[in-house]
Amino acid sequence: MKTAVVKCGGSVIGELSDSFFQSMKEMMKNGYRIVFVHGGGPEINSMLEKLHVKSEFKDGLRVTSKEVLDIAELVLAGSTNRKLVRMLQSHGIEAIGINSSDHRILQADFINQDELGYVGDVTSVHQEFIQNLCEQGVLPVLTPIGLGPNHTILNVNADHAASAIAKALQADRFLMVTDVDGVLHKGELLSTLTEKEANSFIKEGVINGGMIPKVTSALNAFSEYVNHVHIVSGKKSFYNAGKWYGTELTKEKVTV
Ligand SMILES: Nc1ncnc2c1ncn2[C@@H]1O[C@H](COP(=O)(O)OP(=O)(O)O)[C@@H](O)[C@H]1O
Ligand SMILES: CC(=O)N[C@@H](CCC(=O)OP(=O)(O)O)C(=O)O
Protein backbone atom coordinates (compact mmCIF):
# COMPACT_ATOMS: atom_id res chain seq x y z
CA MET A 1 0.00 0.00 0.00
CA LYS A 2 1.08 3.56 -0.70
CA THR A 3 0.12 6.58 1.40
CA ALA A 4 -1.01 9.95 0.09
CA VAL A 5 -1.71 13.10 2.06
CA VAL A 6 -4.29 15.34 0.41
CA LYS A 7 -4.57 18.91 1.71
CA CYS A 8 -7.73 20.69 0.67
CA GLY A 9 -7.72 24.48 0.86
CA GLY A 10 -10.67 26.46 2.17
CA SER A 11 -10.69 28.34 -1.15
CA VAL A 12 -12.08 25.31 -2.97
CA ILE A 13 -14.00 23.26 -0.38
CA GLY A 14 -17.34 24.64 -1.63
CA GLU A 15 -16.39 23.94 -5.26
CA LEU A 16 -15.02 20.40 -5.17
CA SER A 17 -16.20 18.64 -8.31
CA ASP A 18 -17.38 15.08 -8.92
CA SER A 19 -14.24 14.60 -11.05
CA PHE A 20 -12.13 15.51 -8.02
CA PHE A 21 -13.76 12.73 -5.97
CA GLN A 22 -13.42 10.40 -8.97
CA SER A 23 -9.65 11.07 -8.94
CA MET A 24 -9.56 10.29 -5.20
CA LYS A 25 -11.35 6.99 -5.86
CA GLU A 26 -9.02 6.16 -8.71
CA MET A 27 -6.03 6.71 -6.40
CA MET A 28 -7.59 4.39 -3.83
CA LYS A 29 -8.25 1.76 -6.52
CA ASN A 30 -4.58 2.02 -7.47
CA GLY A 31 -3.40 1.19 -3.94
CA TYR A 32 -3.24 4.57 -2.18
CA ARG A 33 -4.42 5.06 1.38
CA ILE A 34 -5.44 8.69 1.70
CA VAL A 35 -5.20 11.03 4.69
CA PHE A 36 -7.14 14.26 4.23
CA VAL A 37 -6.13 17.55 5.89
CA HIS A 38 -8.18 20.67 5.35
CA GLY A 39 -8.10 24.43 5.76
CA GLY A 40 -11.04 26.78 5.98
CA GLY A 41 -9.59 30.30 5.89
CA PRO A 42 -12.46 31.91 3.92
CA GLU A 43 -15.11 30.25 6.14
CA ILE A 44 -13.30 31.51 9.27
CA ASN A 45 -13.16 35.00 7.71
CA SER A 46 -16.91 35.11 7.11
CA MET A 47 -17.73 33.89 10.63
CA LEU A 48 -15.37 36.51 12.10
CA GLU A 49 -17.13 39.17 10.00
CA LYS A 50 -20.56 37.98 11.11
CA LEU A 51 -19.45 38.21 14.74
CA HIS A 52 -17.74 41.59 14.15
CA VAL A 53 -14.35 40.24 15.28
CA LYS A 54 -11.37 41.76 13.49
CA SER A 55 -8.40 39.64 12.47
CA GLU A 56 -5.28 40.24 10.40
CA PHE A 57 -2.61 38.14 8.72
CA LYS A 58 1.16 38.45 9.19
CA ASP A 59 3.25 36.63 6.58
CA GLY A 60 0.27 34.48 5.62
CA LEU A 61 -0.55 33.50 9.21
CA ARG A 62 -3.68 34.66 11.01
CA VAL A 63 -2.92 36.62 14.17
CA THR A 64 -5.00 34.57 16.59
CA SER A 65 -6.33 36.00 19.86
CA LYS A 66 -8.18 33.67 22.26
CA GLU A 67 -11.46 34.91 20.79
CA VAL A 68 -10.29 34.27 17.19
CA LEU A 69 -8.98 30.85 18.22
CA ASP A 70 -12.39 29.80 19.57
CA ILE A 71 -14.06 30.90 16.34
CA ALA A 72 -11.43 29.20 14.15
CA GLU A 73 -11.93 25.91 16.01
CA LEU A 74 -15.70 26.26 15.90
CA VAL A 75 -15.64 26.72 12.13
CA LEU A 76 -12.92 24.19 11.26
CA ALA A 77 -14.09 21.35 13.54
CA GLY A 78 -17.81 22.15 13.64
CA SER A 79 -18.50 23.10 10.05
CA THR A 80 -15.72 22.59 7.47
CA ASN A 81 -14.69 19.17 8.76
CA ARG A 82 -18.31 17.97 8.94
CA LYS A 83 -19.02 19.15 5.37
CA LEU A 84 -15.98 17.36 3.97
CA VAL A 85 -16.77 14.08 5.71
CA ARG A 86 -20.31 14.20 4.32
CA MET A 87 -19.06 15.01 0.81
CA LEU A 88 -16.63 12.08 0.91
CA GLN A 89 -19.33 9.74 2.20
CA SER A 90 -21.79 10.86 -0.46
CA HIS A 91 -19.16 9.84 -3.03
CA GLY A 92 -18.84 6.39 -1.48
CA ILE A 93 -15.66 7.06 0.51
CA GLU A 94 -15.84 5.96 4.17
CA ALA A 95 -14.45 8.87 6.22
CA ILE A 96 -14.08 10.00 9.83
CA GLY A 97 -13.60 13.62 10.88
CA ILE A 98 -11.16 14.43 13.67
CA ASN A 99 -10.20 17.68 15.33
CA SER A 100 -6.43 17.18 15.40
CA SER A 101 -5.88 18.28 19.01
CA ASP A 102 -7.83 15.09 19.92
CA HIS A 103 -5.65 12.14 20.94
CA ARG A 104 -2.55 14.28 20.24
CA ILE A 105 -2.95 13.74 16.49
CA LEU A 106 -1.05 17.02 16.07
CA GLN A 107 1.09 18.49 18.80
CA ALA A 108 2.25 22.03 18.24
CA ASP A 109 4.18 24.84 19.84
CA PHE A 110 3.77 28.62 19.66
CA ILE A 111 5.63 30.24 16.77
CA ASN A 112 5.82 33.68 18.38
CA GLN A 113 3.14 34.27 20.98
CA ASP A 114 3.79 38.02 21.24
CA GLU A 115 3.37 38.63 17.52
CA LEU A 116 0.92 35.94 16.41
CA GLY A 117 -0.93 34.84 19.56
CA TYR A 118 -2.28 31.27 19.52
CA VAL A 119 -0.57 30.17 16.32
CA GLY A 120 1.54 27.04 16.25
CA ASP A 121 3.81 24.90 14.21
CA VAL A 122 3.61 21.12 14.39
CA THR A 123 6.11 19.44 16.73
CA SER A 124 4.81 15.88 16.48
CA VAL A 125 2.26 13.76 14.65
CA HIS A 126 0.50 10.68 16.09
CA GLN A 127 1.23 8.67 12.98
CA GLU A 128 0.39 5.19 14.38
CA PHE A 129 -3.16 6.24 15.11
CA ILE A 130 -3.62 7.78 11.66
CA GLN A 131 -2.18 4.65 10.05
CA ASN A 132 -4.47 2.40 12.11
CA LEU A 133 -7.52 4.25 10.83
CA CYS A 134 -6.30 3.87 7.26
CA GLU A 135 -5.71 0.16 7.80
CA GLN A 136 -9.33 -0.17 8.90
CA GLY A 137 -10.38 1.30 5.56
CA VAL A 138 -11.50 4.64 7.00
CA LEU A 139 -10.20 7.86 5.51
CA PRO A 140 -9.21 10.34 8.27
CA VAL A 141 -10.23 13.97 7.71
CA LEU A 142 -8.07 16.19 9.92
CA THR A 143 -8.41 19.83 11.01
CA PRO A 144 -5.29 22.01 11.36
CA ILE A 145 -5.85 22.51 15.11
CA GLY A 146 -2.94 21.28 17.24
CA LEU A 147 -2.54 20.57 20.93
CA GLY A 148 -0.13 23.11 22.42
CA PRO A 149 1.65 23.36 25.78
CA ASN A 150 -0.41 23.33 29.00
CA HIS A 151 -3.56 22.02 27.31
CA THR A 152 -3.95 25.05 25.08
CA ILE A 153 -4.93 24.50 21.48
CA LEU A 154 -3.14 26.27 18.63
CA ASN A 155 -4.21 27.43 15.18
CA VAL A 156 -1.85 25.91 12.59
CA ASN A 157 -1.75 27.02 8.96
CA ALA A 158 -3.29 24.08 7.09
CA ASP A 159 -0.50 23.95 4.47
CA HIS A 160 2.05 23.66 7.31
CA ALA A 161 -0.03 21.02 9.13
CA ALA A 162 -0.41 18.90 5.98
CA SER A 163 3.29 19.15 5.16
CA ALA A 164 4.21 17.94 8.68
CA ILE A 165 1.75 15.04 8.37
CA ALA A 166 3.07 14.05 4.92
CA LYS A 167 6.62 13.98 6.31
CA ALA A 168 5.69 12.07 9.46
CA LEU A 169 3.80 9.43 7.44
CA GLN A 170 6.58 9.33 4.85
CA ALA A 171 3.82 9.73 2.29
CA ASP A 172 4.49 8.54 -1.24
CA ARG A 173 2.52 11.53 -2.52
CA PHE A 174 1.51 14.89 -1.15
CA LEU A 175 -1.25 16.75 -2.98
CA MET A 176 -2.17 20.34 -2.24
CA VAL A 177 -5.63 20.99 -3.61
CA THR A 178 -6.59 24.58 -4.32
CA ASP A 179 -8.83 26.79 -6.49
CA VAL A 180 -6.40 27.26 -9.40
CA ASP A 181 -4.96 24.67 -11.82
CA GLY A 182 -1.54 24.77 -10.16
CA VAL A 183 1.29 27.28 -10.10
CA LEU A 184 0.76 29.82 -12.89
CA HIS A 185 3.32 32.02 -14.65
CA LYS A 186 1.86 34.78 -16.86
CA GLY A 187 -1.41 32.88 -16.87
CA GLU A 188 0.20 29.63 -18.06
CA LEU A 189 0.20 26.49 -15.91
CA LEU A 190 3.67 25.29 -14.95
CA SER A 191 3.56 21.49 -15.15
CA THR A 192 6.82 21.24 -13.19
CA LEU A 193 8.54 23.50 -10.69
CA THR A 194 12.03 23.16 -9.21
CA GLU A 195 13.04 24.56 -5.81
CA LYS A 196 15.27 27.13 -7.51
CA GLU A 197 12.45 28.33 -9.78
CA ALA A 198 10.02 28.45 -6.85
CA ASN A 199 12.38 30.63 -4.82
CA SER A 200 12.98 33.07 -7.66
CA PHE A 201 9.24 33.24 -8.51
CA ILE A 202 8.53 34.08 -4.86
CA LYS A 203 11.23 36.80 -4.95
CA GLU A 204 9.86 38.23 -8.23
CA GLY A 205 6.28 38.22 -6.89
CA VAL A 206 5.08 35.73 -9.55
CA ILE A 207 4.13 33.48 -6.64
CA ASN A 208 2.35 35.57 -4.03
CA GLY A 209 -0.39 35.59 -1.36
CA GLY A 210 -1.76 32.19 -0.35
CA MET A 211 0.43 30.45 -2.93
CA ILE A 212 3.56 31.30 -0.86
CA PRO A 213 2.81 29.07 2.19
CA LYS A 214 1.60 26.41 -0.25
CA VAL A 215 4.81 26.32 -2.27
CA THR A 216 7.07 26.61 0.79
CA SER A 217 5.15 23.80 2.55
CA ALA A 218 5.33 21.72 -0.62
CA LEU A 219 9.09 22.26 -0.78
CA ASN A 220 9.41 21.54 2.91
CA ALA A 221 7.70 18.16 2.54
CA PHE A 222 9.68 17.32 -0.59
CA SER A 223 12.31 15.17 1.06
CA GLU A 224 13.97 11.84 0.84
CA TYR A 225 10.70 10.30 2.02
CA VAL A 226 8.18 12.38 0.10
CA ASN A 227 9.20 12.29 -3.53
CA HIS A 228 6.03 13.38 -5.29
CA VAL A 229 4.43 16.68 -4.41
CA HIS A 230 1.69 18.24 -6.56
CA ILE A 231 -0.34 21.44 -6.46
CA VAL A 232 -3.67 20.71 -8.18
CA SER A 233 -7.19 22.07 -8.67
CA GLY A 234 -10.15 20.68 -6.73
CA LYS A 235 -12.51 21.88 -9.45
CA LYS A 236 -11.52 19.15 -11.91
CA SER A 237 -9.84 15.78 -12.27
CA PHE A 238 -6.27 15.70 -10.93
CA TYR A 239 -5.52 12.03 -11.67
CA ASN A 240 -6.86 9.97 -14.50
CA ALA A 241 -5.60 6.83 -16.28
CA GLY A 242 -2.31 7.04 -14.37
CA LYS A 243 -1.67 10.67 -15.38
CA TRP A 244 -1.31 13.50 -12.87
CA TYR A 245 -2.43 17.06 -13.64
CA GLY A 246 -1.45 20.38 -12.09
CA THR A 247 2.08 21.36 -11.04
CA GLU A 248 4.54 18.75 -9.80
CA LEU A 249 7.65 19.76 -7.88
CA THR A 250 10.82 18.30 -9.33
CA LYS A 251 14.42 18.19 -8.16
CA GLU A 252 15.61 19.41 -11.54
CA LYS A 253 13.85 20.59 -14.64
CA VAL A 254 12.35 17.76 -16.65
CA THR A 255 12.93 18.17 -20.37
CA VAL A 256 10.32 16.54 -22.57
N1 LIG B 1 1.83 32.07 -9.28
C2 LIG B 1 0.61 31.74 -8.80
N3 LIG B 1 -0.06 30.72 -9.39
C4 LIG B 1 -1.31 30.36 -8.96
N5 LIG B 1 -1.96 30.99 -7.94
C6 LIG B 1 -1.33 32.00 -7.31
C7 LIG B 1 -0.01 32.41 -7.71
N8 LIG B 1 0.36 33.44 -6.91
C9 LIG B 1 -0.66 33.66 -6.07
N10 LIG B 1 -1.70 32.82 -6.29
C11 LIG B 1 -2.96 32.82 -5.54
O12 LIG B 1 -2.95 31.75 -4.60
C13 LIG B 1 -4.30 31.33 -4.41
C14 LIG B 1 -4.33 29.99 -3.67
O15 LIG B 1 -4.00 30.21 -2.31
P16 LIG B 1 -5.15 30.26 -1.17
O17 LIG B 1 -6.25 31.17 -1.61
O18 LIG B 1 -4.50 30.52 0.13
O19 LIG B 1 -5.68 28.78 -1.30
P20 LIG B 1 -6.09 27.63 -0.29
O21 LIG B 1 -7.30 28.10 0.44
O22 LIG B 1 -6.35 26.53 -1.26
O23 LIG B 1 -4.95 27.32 0.63
C24 LIG B 1 -4.85 31.34 -5.82
O25 LIG B 1 -6.26 31.41 -5.86
C26 LIG B 1 -4.19 32.59 -6.40
O27 LIG B 1 -5.03 33.72 -6.24
C1 LIG C 1 -2.44 30.19 11.53
C2 LIG C 1 -3.40 30.24 10.38
O3 LIG C 1 -3.28 31.11 9.53
N4 LIG C 1 -4.36 29.31 10.34
C5 LIG C 1 -5.35 29.22 9.31
C6 LIG C 1 -5.98 27.84 9.38
C7 LIG C 1 -6.89 27.53 8.21
C8 LIG C 1 -6.16 27.49 6.88
O9 LIG C 1 -4.94 27.42 6.78
O10 LIG C 1 -7.00 27.48 5.78
P11 LIG C 1 -6.63 27.57 4.25
O12 LIG C 1 -5.91 26.33 3.88
O13 LIG C 1 -7.97 27.69 3.60
O14 LIG C 1 -5.78 28.81 4.02
C15 LIG C 1 -6.43 30.31 9.48
O16 LIG C 1 -6.75 30.69 10.60
O17 LIG C 1 -6.98 30.73 8.43
Q: What is the ipTM of this complex?
A: 0.98
Q: 3-class secondary structure for 60-105?
A: CEECECHHHHHHHHHHHHHHHHHHHHHHHHHCCCCEEEECCCHHHC
Residue 255, pLDDT > 90, answer no
Q: So what's the pLDDT on residue 75? A: 98
104 is in an annotated binding site: no
Separation between Cα atoms, residue 150 and residue 72, nearest integer Å: 19
CB 113 within 8 A of CB 155: no
Domain membership of residue 255 (yes or no) is no
Domain membership of residue 144 (yes or no) is yes
Residue 143, pLDDT > 80, answer yes
40 is in an annotated binding site: yes
Per-state percent for the chain, helix, strand, coil, to nearest 5: 40, 30, 30
Q: So what's the pLDDT on residue 245? A: 97
Separation between Cα atoms, residue 153 and residue 81, nearest integer Å: 17
Residue 256, pLDDT > 80, answer no
Domain membership of residue 162 (yes or no) is yes
Look at residues 5, 1, 71 and name the one whose alpha carbon lies nearest to residue 38: 5
Looking at the structure of the chain, the number of domains it has is: 1
From the CA of 61, the nearest ligand is 2
Show the domain range for 88.
Answer: 2-250
Q: So what's the pLDDT on residue 254? A: 60
Q: Which atom of ligand 1 is nearest to the CA of 60?
A: 18
Q: Which atom of ligand 1 is nearest to the CA of 234?
A: 22
Residue 248, pLDDT > 80, answer yes
First-to-last C-alpha distance (Å) of the chain: 30
Task: Please compute the mean of the pLDDT values over residues 15-40 and round it to a whole number.
Answer: 97
Domain membership of residue 75 (yes or no) is yes
Residue 156, pLDDT > 70, answer yes
Nearest-CA residue for ligand 1 atom 12 is 211
Domain membership of residue 235 (yes or no) is yes
Structure confidence by residue, pLDDT tens digits, 112-128? 999 999 999 999 999 99
Domain membership of residue 69 (yes or no) is yes
Q: Assign 218 a pLDDT band (cuts: 50, 70, 90).
A: very high
Q: Assign 253 a pLDDT band (cuts: 50, 70, 90).
A: low
Structure confidence by residue, pLDDT tens digits, 161-174? 999 999 999 999 99
Q: Assign 1 a pLDDT band (cuts: 50, 70, 90).
A: confident
Residue 95, pLDDT > 70, answer yes
Domain membership of residue 45 (yes or no) is yes
Domain membership of residue 256 (yes or no) is no
- Ligand 1 probe mutation, 6, 180, 231, 233, most atoms within 8 A of CB: 180
- Ligand 1 probe mutation, 11, 20, 44, 159, most atoms within 8 A of CB: 11
Helix (H/G/I), strand (E/B), else coil: 206: coil
Task: Please compute the mean of the pLDDT values over residues 17-41 and round it to a whole number.
Answer: 97
Residue 61, pLDDT > 90, answer yes
Residue 56 maps to which CATH number? 3.40.1160.10
